[in-house]
Amino acid sequence: MELQNKATRIKLFDFSTVQMRTFHMTWFAFFLCFFGWFGIAPLMAVVREDLLLTKAQIGNTIIASVGITVLVRLLIGPLTDKLGPRRTYTGLLVLGSIPVMSIGFADSYETFLLGRLAIGAIGASFVITQYHTSMMFAPNVVGTANATTAGWGNLGGGVTQMVMPLIFAGILALGFSEAISWRLAMIIPGVLMLITAAGYWFFTTDAPDGDFKDLRAQGKLSADKKDSSAWVSFKAAASDYRVWLLFVVYAACFGVELTLNNIAAIYYFDQFDLSLKTAGIIAGLFGLMNLFARTLGGYVSDFMARNVGFQGRIYFLFVIVLCEGLALMLFSQQSILILAVSSMLLFSLCVQMTEGATYGIVPFVNKKALGAVAGIVGAGGNVGAVAAGFLFKSESITYQQGLFYLGVAVACVSVLVLAVRFTPEDIKEQDEALADALAQRDNDAEVTPAVATQTA
């Protein structure tokens, strides 16, 4: 999908343009979705005691929380192609807030499982986040923009590990029991999601020049129902083998990150005999690396494209996936707390750079079916998390063993990256589009000082 007036620069403190307003609204909305999605994870030690959950049952709830997202991500991509990201994101935030606030009514394993299953649907917000920034930013910075909005959104997974135990403790201090406190704590992320839904509706548009509905009416986008069909978009994406290769790659990075978000706090709580608060803080460090790590992956991907050519994006992705696998194996072997934390941070850097590098390629696979491509690849992350969930559910495999096996699998997946191919015509087209975006950026830089001089 080719649109005009995409931003060629990321100006973080500029809120006057729709491109940058969208940039900030996407990452913040995704942040809150992540906060709500994993809000219960750092409280699982308390929930386990309250609902008398076994390890296998906890594993089932983890699988449920990420499993449903596979289906919803597959659906949300084509739906975004059809309705536009503004309407789709607003609706998802409103609907997603309901199970987040309602999980507090769970009084058994079965009802808690259903609650986590329903909450998992908000994980599809990632697809809309990547779609919307791809609509707003030009090829020279789209990798960085996608990586930053997703990375800052993923911060929600780290912040929730730290903040939810504090909210829980604050409610306890008011005189409520532990059984009531974890339930009341989940109301807060749900309310924040509702507030953000209103902001998303009023401060963004689908594209730089307006909403899809208006652009189709003006003839700037295809108004043909066949061309805009969600099913046609999905079929076009699903028939491209590169989409499925990136699906597997994303399973090996984001899937592993989701798994760590779910088990990190309880892993440190049990493995190193820490308090719930301390375990949550350490687990939160893993997610906080998203502040810069995923952005760094997207930035390096853009850098390689500018200096090596489009193929440089693929070479970098191969290297960083391999590094991710090796770092995870290293982390799995640590039995001393300081070494475990240090190696976890190294792994966190690699896994999040891998995610950024993956979505440095996604916008170029099929521009006419971008939502479907983003949805399928994004669903891969949740498939990876589901597979890992079954691994950690087993009573015969320790968390350390499971992490080592995952590291081996990730290292093997790195080879698949080299099978992602673009035709010489595609590469030439992408390189030319990049050159045009860079020329536009330089032209904007020359015009701005001239205008400022004339105004003065």
pLDDT at site 229: 61
How far, in Å, CA of 422 to CA of 427, rounded?
6
How far, in Å, CA of 357 to CA of 372, rounded?
19
Q: Where are the domains positioned within the chain? A: 18-209+227-441
Q: Which CATH number fits domain 18-209+227-441: 1.20.1250.20, 3.30.2350.10, 1.10.10.10, 3.90.850.10?
A: 1.20.1250.20
Q: Are 93 and 41 in contact (CB under 8 A)?
A: no
pLDDT at site 446: 60
pLDDT at site 262: 78
What are the average pLDDT values for consecutive 10-residue runs of the chain, which has 456 residues? 77 91 96 92 90 89 86 87 93 96 94 94 91 90 87 85 91 94 95 96 93 85 58 83 95 90 83 84 86 90 88 94 96 92 95 93 84 86 86 82 93 95 80 76 62 43
| CB neighbourhood size of 165 (10 A) | 26
Q: pTM for the complete prediction?
A: 0.77
How far, in Å, CA of 121 to CA of 70, rounded?
9
How far, in Å, CA of 344 to CA of 283, rounded?
9
pLDDT at site 111: 95
How far, in Å, CA of 185 to CA of 165, rounded?
9
pLDDT at site 451: 45
Any idea which residue has 């908000």 for tokens? 122
Residue 264, token pair as written in the block? 């990190």
- What are residue 210's phi and psi, to 5 degrees? 140, -170
Residue 157, token pair as written in the block? 């997974």
Residue 258, token pair as written in the block? 């989701």
pLDDT at site 108: 94
How far, in Å, CA of 132 to CA of 84, rounded?
9
How far, in Å, CA of 437 to CA of 443, rounded?
10
Closest C-alpha among 370, 127, 377, 88 to residue 206: 88
